[in-house]
Amino acid sequence: MNKIGLIFPSLFFILVVMNSFLGWDPYGMNFDLILKPPGTSGFFGYDDYGRDILIRLINGFLVSFEIVVLATSISFLIGICLGCIAGYFRGPVDQIITSGMTIIQAFPGILLIIALAAFLETSFWNILVALSVTAWIGFARIARSKTLSIRESDFVKAAILMGADRNRIILKHIIPNILAPLSVELNFTIANLIVAEAGLAFLGLGLSSPFPSWGGMLRDSIDYLLVAPHYVIVVSLCMILMILSFNVIGAGLKKYINE
């Protein structure tokens, strides 16, 4: 696995831990520092309300990442359960689950997320639901494919002959053997959901101001692109580096597993 991808997320996790002890205020305003560029007083500069951009990025990372991790966890559990059920039982059960996945995939993922977020009232849990609606499909397809293969293996057939029930076979024999490829999908899903969550906030469908959100900060920074370019540059670079980091981690895991 390419360890370079771990640097940027690890840095932000360290800053989040420091923030929990030091209690940096993301809402503190100083009107004398409005749109001040990076310097000794503020490492990343200040926004249009005189708030420290770095502190808001740290707190925004915590809020956004909480949503992304929960959405990924929910999608992972739903996907692995439905995928294993479809692959193990096959027949009508497989057809129903596969048809459901096909119907959802018929809609462009980000457009479906935006439509759901616009329909639902803006809140933490509704954003979580909107992000989870499409994210489980990738996990389900991988789980189904691997389950179909593992189901025909000798150790599963031996377990069936020894009288093991279906739940035990799925939990003890199938799921542990499909976690490796699912871990690769996990990293790519996190990267995709970071984009989706930031996109919702950018469109005004995510957590609203004054709550710090990377997408919301990017939306606000656009208005000051000419007078304070540091604002949009810093926020954009953080988003790009975070997304690239998880993609690099996923690519590294995929290469490691294939070897």
Residues 239 and 192: beta-carbon distance below 8 Å = no
Domain membership of residue 126 as a residue range: 3-16+47-258
- Number of domains, the chain: 1
**180-227 pLDDT tens trace:** 888 888 888 888 888 888 888 888 777 666 677 888 888 888 888 888
What mean pLDDT comes out for the span 234-259? 82
Residue 29 located in a structural domain = no
CATH of the domain at 64: 1.10.3720.10
Mean pLDDT of the chain: 84
Maximum distance among all alpha carbons in the chain? 76
Residues 6+ apart with CB under 8 A from 90: 148
What percent of the chain shows pLDDT beyond 90?
Answer: 8
The predicted-structure confidence for 37-87, as pLDDT tens digits, reads as follows 888 777 888 888 888 999 899 888 888 888 888 999 999 999 999 999 998
**What pLDDT score does 162 carry?**
82
CA 159, 162, 167, 172 dihedral sign is negative
Domain contains 135: yes
In a domain, 127, yes or no: yes
Which pLDDT does position 79 carry in this prediction? 92
- Structure confidence at residue 258 as a pLDDT band (50, 70, 90): low
Domain membership of residue 31 (yes or no) is: no
Q: What distance in Å separates the CA atoms of residue 77 and residue 186, rounded to the nearest whole number?
A: 11
At 78 the pLDDT is: 92
Structure confidence by residue, pLDDT tens digits, 79-99: 999 999 998 888 888 899 999
What's the confidence (pLDDT) of residue 12? 84
In a domain, 85, yes or no: yes
Instruction: Specify burial of residue 200 (Cβ count, 10 A radius: 0-12, 13-18, 19+).
Output: buried
pLDDT at 1 over 60: no
The whole-number pLDDT of residue 29 equals 86
Asked, for residue 101, whether it belongs to a domain, the answer is yes
pLDDT confidence of residue 208: 64
Q: Is residue 181 in some structural domain?
A: yes
pLDDT at residue 259, as a whole number: 58
> Is the confidence at residue 116, as pLDDT, over 60?
yes
The better pLDDT of the pair 207, 17 is held by 17
The answer to the question of residue 23 being in a domain is no
pLDDT of residue 2: 58
